[in-house]
Amino acid sequence: MDRVGRASPPRSTAAHVRIHRPRRFRRRGPRHVADGAAPEAEAAPRHPSPERSVTALLAVLLAARVLELGPTRAQRESAATGLEFPFAARADQELTSATVRLAADGMEKLEVVVNDEPVAVLSGVDGTREVPVPKELLAERNSLGLRLKGADGSCAARPGAWRALKSVAVAVEADPTPLPDDLALLPLPFFDRGYDTDATVPIAFAATDEAPLAALAASWFAVDAPIPLTFEAHVGSLPDSRALVLVAGALEAARFGLPPPSGPSVRMIDHPLHPGSNVKLVVVAGRNRTELSTALQALATRTRRLAGPEVKLDAPAARTQPVPGEAPRWVGTAAEVPFSAYPGEHELSHEGSAPATLSLRFRVAPDVWLWPADFVALDLGWLARGSPRPRLDVEMNGDFVATLPDRDHGRARLRIPRDHLRGFNELLVHVHYPDPDPCAVAPAQGDPPHVEIAPDSVLHLEGARHFSMLPDLSLFAFDGWPFTRVADLSETAIVLPDRPAAAELGTALSIVARMAQVTGSVGTGVALLPASAASDEDLANRDVLVVGTPGDNAVVARWADRLPLRFENGAARVQGPPISLDLLGGLGPLLDQRRANELLSRSANVAAIAAIESPVTKGRSVVAVTAADPSRIPPFSAFLGYARARTRAGDLLLLAGDERAMFRVGGWFGLGQLDSWTEARWFLASHFLLLLPVAFVGAFAFAGDARRFFALKRKRRLAEGEQ
């Protein structure tokens, strides 16, 4: 889900981390013994400074990290004599050691190869084995190979042999390498898009009333990130790590130990405690808060690439108002959209005879409504050149769809079940070639086989309605809905405590950043309000996100009776569902209330996301991220992932100890428009108990008609008997 939009963000290519960092010296042969004076001369630090010290950050960087490499299902089923697994270090680190970790269930003989150099031959691999890799074999990009061997060391082809291979991993250690001060390197040093799967970004600012500017900065930084980001708020202090820093004026700059700003700008500099390292600060600054706001607005609207140590920023041009229900990263539904017009970059072709997977990752508006249709049509075209001809298996969001006909080219109309489509979707085409004799002499090669998906293929969403039943916390957690209905969040209000804790600020910033990743648009219109200033008039006609506890956020306390979860004397309990028509959809809310209270009774450390219809505006949503104590509010990422649930949608998401569960304990309301006939059918489908009286009335009516019918028949038969 989080890999959508992996295209490179708008950064300059003028600087490259592997070109402009200090040169690495690496030997590829046996190490020679240096004379006695050499080590002493080479031991001098590259950037001597009394301020430089060993910190917790460097300790983390030096710690071993385990990279899980596989094998995949296709690799386990392969008849090849060897498997390849690439691995690397972050672009701002240098590998210093690596240890291969293999887990197998009875493999006879296995050769371990790193970068085409034999490292070890293992016999009788049963259980876990570790193989250290000599440092001189390590490069920036590496390949781990596993080869099946016979008893005499020759090629050994044993079909199904790789099924015994359970896991392949590499434990690596790396040293940080210095980086130049160049904004073109972003998102380094915060994360490496080709290496990291998630990242934490510290953001420092002078005072809590700059939280709206921090939210804008987090949204800008995250909009092009292909991985989940968690933001840590540091108010009034500079963290001892890389960070995004907001500076408004010379006094704030002095507090952080930074040079005073000369106007709206963004620059990359060394951390004052770590000169000449990869611990960098990205400083967005102005001589006052107005100029700082100008700088952030300029970054949000900027289309030119950032490059160099500093970029001066001019006042941005006026932005056009977004259309509700549309976003730069969403595929539209007004007309047919071919794959070639989908936002982002996609892998729609493959060359070579190795197994591969073609992928199309895309987003649609989370409220695309397909009911009562059961399927969506997919017109999928393909072309396969060369020999042998592959088998093409189509998969949507992890569910098998079909195997394409065995032809060189063609077009197939496939049916995608309605329930298989979500806000974020992943269409995969698995390319399988027949396994050749792995030990045979390779034939002379002509043009390699080529497979591609036709760029004019179409998923037929045109004409789909837009409607959603809310509250739905699964839509909120993964798609930001309904807040992302307006891409710039101009109809969103975020209410924070008057004196928010760092955890509360971090959660709010992470949620805003997540919404920017979903829409592809910076949240320039979001309103951040302190709870004491958030009147009903301020929150009217907006979707409201509330972060805090009943003790520190007045809005949470004001709406406590309406939220499905209530904290009393430090303990949490789920409030009963209101008596309403929603209970005509079954007793699920009552059962979920009981299950939720059972879960709460087993844990004292509880955090929750609760959702209701806004008390101040009908048809608007309120989502509250809360806990009994501000320090117990976890990072937003802790709420993501699998949650036990009775239904796909819920209005209460509980994080209780190590358990995560979602419940539906309150009512529903609709957002969007349906035609009258569809709306009536949906109402009856979701309130099926209303059909019971109709069924009884129909049964009695039928019984009455049947009674009269049979009475008439009996009368006629008696009359005929008398005659």
Q: Which residue has the tokens 């998102």?
A: 187
Q: Is the pLDDT of residue 125 over 60?
A: yes
The verdict on residue 189 lying in a domain is yes
**Residues 470-499: what's their mean pLDDT?**
95
Q: Decide which of 71 and 570 is more confident.
A: 71
CB-neighbour burial class of residue 196 (10 A; exposed 0-12, middle 13-18, buried 19+): middle
The verdict on residue 673 lying in a domain is no
Same domain, 528 and 633: yes
The verdict on residue 162 lying in a domain is yes
Q: What is the residue-averaged pLDDT of the chain?
A: 85
**Residues 156-165: what's their mean pLDDT?**
77
* CATH code of the domain covering residue 377: 2.60.120.260
Q: What would the pLDDT profile of 405-451 be if each residue is shown by its tens digit? A: 999 999 999 999 998 999 999 999 999 887 665 565 555 566 789 99
Q: What is the pLDDT of residue 155?
A: 64
Q: What is the pLDDT of residue 188?
A: 92
Q: What would the pLDDT profile of 623-641 be if each residue is shown by its tens digit? A: 999 998 898 899 999 999 8
Same domain, 453 and 478: no
The verdict on residue 54 lying in a domain is no
Q: Which domain holds residue 423?
A: 330-436+448-466
Q: In what order do the strands lie in the sheet with 399-403?
A: 330-331, 356-364, 424-432, 391-396, 399-403
Q: What would the pLDDT profile of 451-465 be if each residue is shown by its tens digit? A: 999 999 999 999 899
Q: How confident is the model at residue 680 (pLDDT cuts 50, 70, 90)?
A: confident
Q: What would the pLDDT profile of 512-552 be if each residue is shown by its tens digit? A: 999 999 999 999 999 999 999 999 999 999 999 999 999 99
Distance between CA atoms of 194 and 206, rounded to whole angstroms?
33
**Which token pair is 553?**
């956020």
Q: Is the pLDDT of residue 56 over 60?
A: no
CB-neighbour burial class of residue 53 (10 A; exposed 0-12, middle 13-18, buried 19+): exposed
Q: Is the pLDDT of residue 392 over 80?
A: yes
Q: How confident is the model at residue 397 (pLDDT cuts 50, 70, 90)?
A: very high
The neighbour count for residue 291, using CB atoms within 10 Å, is 20
The secondary element (H helix, E strand) that includes residue 568 is strand 565-568
The verdict on residue 30 lying in a domain is no
Q: What is the pLDDT of residue 553?
A: 94
Q: What would the pLDDT profile of 352-385 be if each residue is shown by its tens digit? A: 887 888 999 999 999 999 988 999 999 999 999 9
Distance between CA atoms of 600 and 489, rounded to whole angstroms?
34
Q: What percent of the chain has pLDDT over 70?
A: 86
CB distance 616 to 441 below 8 Å: no
Q: Is the pLDDT of residue 24 over 90?
A: no
Same domain, 513 and 593: yes
**Closest C-alpha among 350, 346, 361, 271 to residue 53:** 271
**Closest C-alpha among 227, 151, 154, 216 to residue 187:** 227
Considering only 87-101, 298-312, 693-707, which range has the smallest mean pLDDT? 693-707
**Residues 230-242: what's their mean pLDDT?**
95
**Residues 45-51: what's their mean pLDDT?**
37
* List of residues 6+ apart from 563 with CB closer than 8 A: 556, 575, 610, 612, 624, 626
Same domain, 171 and 197: no
Q: Is the pLDDT of residue 52 over 80?
A: no
Q: Is the pLDDT of residue 17 over 90?
A: no
**Residues 73-81: what's their mean pLDDT?**
78
Helix-strand-coil percent breakdown of the chain, rounded to 5?
Answer: 25, 35, 40
Same domain, 160 and 193: no
**Closest C-alpha among 459, 357, 342, 367 to residue 398:** 357
Strand partners, 11: 306
The verdict on residue 615 lying in a domain is yes
Distance between CA atoms of 635 and 708, rounded to whole angstroms?
70
Distance between CA atoms of 182 and 411, rounded to whole angstroms?
48
- Total domains in the fold of the chain: 5
